Amino acid sequence: MRILVRVPTWVGDCLLAQPALESLRRSRPGADIWLLGPAWVRDLFPPKKLAAGVIPLGETGSLRGLRRAARTLRAARFDAGLLLTNSFGSALLFALAGIPERWGYRRDGRGFLLTRGVRAETNGAPRHQLEYYLDLVRGLGMTPAPARVRLRLSARETRAAGAALEALGVDLSRPVVVLSPGASYGPAKRWPAERFAALGALFQKKNRAEIVITGSAGERELAGRVAALLPRRAAVLAGLTDLRRLLAVLSRASLVVSNDSGAMHLANALRVPVTAVFGPTDPAATRPYHQPSVVLKKDVACWPCLYRECPYDHRCLTSITPEEVYAAARMFLP
């Protein structure tokens, strides 16, 4: 049996789907399982363990792109497709690709496109995203795998990250604090750069910490702004690492301070201590799933909004002070 899994597009969500993928692998031990998603998915889930490989998802925002992707998948002759995404478009793609069995949550008006649909629980307390994915495979009759996310790196990868940090002037004998001020979702999730810089200054002054600032290529300016406000030099790696190299850098950290973002979940999967600053989103759904971690969030009247850009004064994040974050995070440092 050939099974195609449409994995989530966001790094954090994709990582939180790991137990669901393990559930599928255990339930269909002889199946030829492939993942469909962004090309970086292969850096999270190397071939042969959970799946045979990754099919990079091309542009599907237009009808032409959708048809092109459907033709590619049709040629691969999959027997079944599991949708870990919720969109109508992802179910339509599987239908256009002629995949006979299409499994997923029955939502967003796509129920008629599914051959096996599971109703999402809409009552009660919010479900963590990891458990939401496990609820889906459970609803499909599979025995869920343990609710845990874990990533491991080779000794070679961690050694290379250490050498790269030392080449940038980072003293690994001191505590290494990684600041991740970005969030691909949008600026509404970003604690202000000035707050990250003030926090970094506290770590430099009180813990003699080395500061490393990470982020995507699009966040390099943001990372540079944080670095420029620090009293001592920081290593800026924004835009200079792919996903595996970022993981290796995170693995060398004593602490990671992040917004609600992919970096937060990557560090948590490595069991590196994480301090997460939450704004418009609900920690009950997307908090770091494992310890060691701590979350800071303020209760404000407009929360949760899930906006990508705040139309008001961003009070959910501006009301969190660097001193509060430092007080919560310092327990993770020597």
Q: According to the 3-state scheme, what is the secondary structure of 2-23?
A: EEEEECCCCHHHHHHCHHHHHH
Per-residue pLDDT reduced to its tens digit, 21-49: 999 999 999 999 999 999 999 999 988 88
Q: Is 206 exposed, middle or buried (0-12, 13-18, 19+ CB in 10 A)?
A: exposed
Percent of the chain with pLDDT over 90: 91
In the chain the beta strands, taken as DSSP E runs, fall at 2-6, 32-37, 53-56, 80-83, 101-105, 116-118, 176-180, 210-213, 235-236, 255-259, 274-277, 293-296
How does residue 126 score in pLDDT terms, banded at 50, 70 and 90?
confident
pLDDT the model gives residue 311: 86
Residue 218 DSSP class: G
Neighbours of 158 (CB within 10 A): 15
C-alpha distance from residue 162 to each of 12, 157, 167, 180, 248 (Å):
24, 9, 9, 18, 8
Token pair in block for residue 21: 């993928």
pLDDT at 123 over 80: no
Residue whose entry in the numeric block shows the structure tokens 């009759």: 141
Token pair in block for residue 174: 């001191």
pLDDT at 219 over 90: yes
Are 269 and 148 within 8 A, CB to CB?
no
Per-residue pLDDT reduced to its tens digit, 70-103: 999 999 999 999 999 999 999 999 999 999 999 9
| CA of residue 215 relative to chain centroid, distance | 13
How does residue 61 score in pLDDT terms, banded at 50, 70 and 90?
confident
Are 191 and 181 within 8 A, CB to CB?
yes
Per-residue pLDDT reduced to its tens digit, 243-296: 999 999 999 999 999 999 999 999 999 999 999 999 999 999 999 999 999 999
Token pair in block for residue 246: 């970022």
Q: Measured between alpha carbons, how far is 288 from 1 in angstroms, rounded to an integer?
A: 34
Residue whose entry in the numeric block shows the structure tokens 């990582």: 15
- Cα dihedral value 258, 262, 266, 271, nearest 10: 40
pLDDT the model gives residue 297: 97
**Helices and strands: H and E segment counts in the chain:** 14, 12
Domains of the chain: 2-139 (3.40.50.2000), 156-332 (3.40.50.2000)
Are 206 and 174 within 8 A, CB to CB?
no
